[in-house]
Amino acid sequence: MTTAVPLIYSFPEFSGVAEAVADHIVAAQNHALYGDYNRKKSLSDTNIASQFSGAAESMRLTKSVSEHHSASGNGTNTPSSSREQRKKKKEENRRFRIGLSGGSLISVLREGLLKRQDVEWSKWDVYFADERLVPFDSPESNYGKAKSQIFDNIPPEKGYPNIFPIDENLLNDPQECADTYEKTLIKGFASKDSVKLPMFDLILLGCAPDGHVASLFPNHETLRESYAWCAPVLNAPSGPPTRITLTVPVICHSHRVMFVVEGATKAPVISTIMERPDKGLPASIINEKAAGRIAWFVDDDAVKDVVGITKKRYKFLVHSE
């Protein structure tokens, strides 16, 4: 049995998963932008509140934009402005930084997010937890799929997120593609201060039947990467063979990590993840290393083989008007 006890929310239906996932994402969005998961209500449930805390974490400083010689030069400050104005401006400029995986997660997000009125799309910075090195118009492209299924369907009046796909010119050079994506992350997360690791507000992951998460495959050397933020993957055992992926330290440094897993085909792997962490599946590694900041959103079929864990009923966090 896993030593870390993750929150596991289980639902009888697909639509239940999608709605709860969307609610949890909007709660994370509100926390990132306003310091409160529900803009109308103050935090009263300390358990839930603690899921969204973690900002007071100390970081060893090693990476910065200047390290990669790509300073944006966009640091204009008005020295005479009052503290209040600076505070207001800071609040207005806050971004919700999210990392997306591919696979069925995209349909869950489409189903759950597009019908909500409280998604502040124009304040989102969307990165990819992994990407397959295929053209954006391929059905295998995570960016292409997310764009066509979700982002292109956002009503124009709702605004549009900043989206950070890989460089499509580097599909034949996985190392360069990963290095370039790391520079994109450095610009987004370390433009002002050097940081050892980027801190996403939320990373969303699926899990394949073989236990791979993002493009971290079982027993693959990328699982041991401890310095790079983004790593190339060659010879992936399933799907497109070349990919890039965020590394384990980056995923585990996120404020929140959500797994979204559905279907009876996932039942054996979920049982292994929860009951045999010693097998070292990528999902188990993340489950252990990001303990306390992980939530699983699953349907009943996916967890039917797991015994001895507590499945929770999801309590909606964001109250509608």
Ligand X SMILES: O=C(O)[C@H](O)[C@@H](O)[C@H](O)[C@H](O)COP(=O)(O)O
**Interacting residues toward ligand X by CB under 6 A:** 101-105, 130, 132, 142, 206-208, 212-215, 239
Question: With respect to ligand X, which residue has the nearer C-beta, 2 or 101?
Answer: 101
> Which tokens in the block code for residue 267?
């039942």
Minimum CB separation of residue 77 from ligand X in Å reads 39
Residues ≥6 apart with Cβ < 8 Å to 151:
126, 160, 161, 163
Q: Which residue is nearest to ligand X (CB)?
A: 103
In whole angstroms, give the CA distance from residue 62 to residue 67: 9
Q: In this structure, what DSSP letter does residue 79 have?
A: T
Residue type, 252: C
Question: With respect to ligand X, which residue has the nearer C-beta, 19 or 190?
Answer: 19
> Which tokens in the block code for residue 245?
């992926």
Minimum CB separation of residue 27 from ligand X in Å reads 22
Alpha-helical segments (H) within 35-164 = 46-51, 83-92, 105-113, 142-149
Strand order through the sheet with 124-128: 162-163, 124-128, 96-100, 202-205, 257-261, 294-299, 7-11, 311-312
Question: With respect to ligand X, which residue has the nearer C-beta, 102 or 174?
Answer: 102
Please say whether the beta carbons of 206 and 261 come within 8 A. Answer: yes
Minimum CB separation of residue 129 from ligand X in Å reads 6
Residue 211 Rama label (left phi>0; alpha psi -120 to 50; beta): left
Minimum CB separation of residue 66 from ligand X in Å reads 31
Question: With respect to ligand X, which residue has the nearer C-beta, 109 or 208?
Answer: 208
Question: With respect to ligand X, which residue has the nearer C-beta, 130 or 201?
Answer: 130
Q: Across-strand partners of 245?
A: 130, 231
Q: In this structure, what DSSP letter does residue 138 have?
A: S
Minimum CB separation of residue 61 from ligand X in Å reads 30
In whole angstroms, give the CA distance from residue 3 to residue 258: 18
Minimum CB separation of residue 107 from ligand X in Å reads 9
Minimum CB separation of residue 110 from ligand X in Å reads 13
Minimum CB separation of residue 267 from ligand X in Å reads 13
Question: With respect to ligand X, which residue has the nearer C-beta, 190 or 223?
Answer: 223
In whole angstroms, give the CA distance from residue 97 to residue 53: 15
CB neighbours of residue 12 within 10 Å: 10
Q: In the chain, count H helices and then E strands.
A: 9, 11
Question: With respect to ligand X, which residue has the nearer C-beta, 103 or 198?
Answer: 103
Question: With respect to ligand X, which residue has the nearer C-beta, 161 or 206?
Answer: 206
In whole angstroms, give the CA distance from residue 321 to residue 319: 7
